[in-house]
Amino acid sequence: MQGADEVPDERGTVRAARTLALPRSLLRAKTSVPDLHHAAVERPRLWTLLDAATTRPVTAMTAPTGSGKTQLLASWARQSARPVAWLNLDAHDRDPHRFWTAFLLALQPVAGLGEDSVLATMQPAPGSSHSLSVLPALVVDALSDLEHEVVVVLDDVHEIDDSPTVEALSYLLLHLPPRLRVVLTGVFLPALPRARLRLEGRLATIPGEELAFTAVEARSMLQGTGLHPTDEVVAQLVDRTEGWSAGLRLAALAGADALTGHDSPYLLTSGSAEADEYLLGEVLANLPEQARAFVLTTCVCDRLSGSLADALTGDHDGAATLRWLADHNIFTVRQSSDEEWYRYHAMFVGMLRRQLQQADQGRWRALHDRAAGWFAEHRLWLEAFEHARQGTSADLARAMVRSAWYPLYVGGQLVTLRDMVDRVLADPTGADDELRLVRTVVGLALGEPGSHLVSPPPATPSLAGQVLALEQGRACGDLATVQAAAADMLRAGPGLSPTSESFGDLAALALYELGATEYWRGDGFAAEEHLRQAHEAARSGHRAYVELGCLSQLVGVLTAQDRLDDALAVADEARDLAGRRGWEQSAAAAELWHALGWIHYLRDELDAADQFLDLGDDAVRLDDTPVRAAIQLVRGLVLAQRGRKRHALAQMLQVEREIAGLRARWVFSDYVEAELVRLNLALGQLGPARRALARTDPETEGVHLRISRAELLLSDSRPDAALDVLRAAVADGRGFLDQRIQAQVLLAVVETQQNGVRAGLPVFGEAVAMAAGERMVQPLLQFGARIDRMLELLERRDRTHLDFVRLVRSRIAAHVSTAQQVRPDGGLEEPLTAREHEILIRLDSMATLPEVAAELFVSVNTVKAHLRSLYRKLGVHGRREAIAKAEALGLL
Summarize pLDDT for 860-883 with one digit per residue, the tens. 788 888 888 888 888 888 887 888
Three-state DSSP class for residue 381:
helix
Q: Name the pLDDT band for 628 (thresholds 50, 70, 90).
A: very high
Three-state DSSP class for residue 184:
strand
Q: What is the mean pLDDT of the chain?
A: 84
Distance CA 70, CA 89 (A): 12
Structure confidence at residue 844 (pLDDT): 67
Strand 14-15 vs strand 7-8: parallel, antiparallel, or unpaired? antiparallel
Lowest mean pLDDT among 24-38, 175-189, 489-503, 645-659: 489-503
Burial 691-703 (b: 16+ CB within 10 A, else e): ebbeebeeeebbb
Three-state DSSP class for residue 698:
coil
pLDDT tens per residue across span 249-267: 887 776 654 444 444 444 5
Residue 453, pLDDT > 70, answer no
Lowest mean pLDDT among 25-34, 187-196, 712-721: 25-34
Distance CA 811, CA 776 (A): 12
Q: What's the average model confidence in pLDDT over 390-408? A: 88
Give the phi and the psi of residue 231 in degrees, each rounded to 5: -60, -40
CA angle 505, 506, 511 (to 5 degrees): 105
> In 64-214, which ranges are continuous DSSP H helix?
69-79, 96-111, 118-121, 129-143, 164-174, 194-199
The larger pLDDT score, comparing residue 709 to residue 254, is at 709
Given a contact cutoff of 8 angstroms between Cβ atoms, the answer to whether 563 and 775 are in contact is no
pLDDT tens per residue across span 436-451: 889 988 888 877 766 5
Structure confidence at residue 125 (pLDDT): 58
End-to-end Cα separation, the chain, in angstroms: 112
Strand 58-62 vs strand 203-206: parallel, antiparallel, or unpaired? parallel
Residue 824, pLDDT > 60, answer no
Kindly give the interhelix angle for 96-111 and 129-143, rounded to the nearest 10 degrees: 20
Given a contact cutoff of 8 angstroms between Cβ atoms, the answer to whether 177 and 146 are in contact is yes
Percentage, residues of the chain above pLDDT 70: 87
Query: Which secondary structure element, helix H or strand E, spans residue 332, and what is its range?
Result: strand 332-334
Q: Name the pLDDT band for 847 (thresholds 50, 70, 90).
A: low
Give the phi and the psi of residue 59 in degrees, each rounded to 5: -125, 135
Cβ atoms within 10 Å of 624's Cβ, excluding its own: 25
Cα separations in angstroms, 452 against 155, 656, 698:
67, 20, 35
Q: Name the pLDDT band for 308 (thresholds 50, 70, 90).
A: very high
Residue 314, pLDDT > 90, answer yes
Please tell me what DSSP assigns to residue 182.
Answer: E
Taking every pair of Cα atoms in the chain, the longest distance, rounded to a whole number of angstroms, is 136
Burial 556-592 (b: 16+ CB within 10 A, else e): bbbbbbbbbebbbebbeebbebbeebebeebbbbbbb
Three-state DSSP class for residue 123:
strand
Cα separations in angstroms, 361 against 310, 317, 371:
21, 25, 15
Lowest mean pLDDT among 218-222, 296-300, 849-853: 849-853
Residue 368, pLDDT > 90, answer yes
Q: What's the average model confidence in pLDDT over 83-105? A: 90
Distance CA 739, CA 632 (A): 18
Structure confidence at residue 221 (pLDDT): 87
